[in-house]
Amino acid sequence: MKCPFCSHIDTQVVETRVSEEGDFVRRRRKCSSCDKRFTTYERPDVTFPAIVKKDGRRIEYERVKLIASLNLALRKRPVSTEQVDGAIERIEEKLLALGLREVASNRIGELVMRELKKLDKVAYVRFASVYRNFEDIDEFRALVDEVRK
């Protein structure tokens, strides 16, 4: 593994931990050249279904986009990184379990909303208000009433 600081090729694994769910391995590494430490994550290489957008375009699944969406909705909310990581893992597990080659983007949006509803009600309302593209205040009020129940 190449050092991200000095680009030296020789790094040593100092510590290895398997996640609680057992779905990835976290490794602490140390560069033999600059002595800096960094963390790497090892995950299985799986093929996610293609995402079909509303306009019919097909794009590759990108974990980074999912993380960005969740982080935007959860901005300044009291939700830990571990909770967000867990939500992402559950969403990805559900995508893989579908066993489909293509998935509509709205299906992923629904999975995200389900996870946000469990994590934080305010983040759920934030995401849903943008995702569902409300036309008037009554639609927004209905969503807030649904969350209050």
Residue with tokens 């009020």: 141
The pTM score is: 0.65
What is the per-residue pLDDT across 94-106, written as a single tens digit (0 to 9) for each?
A: 999 998 999 999 9
Better-scored residue on pLDDT, 137 or 91? 91
Using a pLDDT cut of 70, give the percent of the chain over it.
100
CA atoms within 13 A on the CB side of 133: 2
Residue 111 and residue 94 in contact, taking contact as beta carbons nearer than 8 Å:
yes
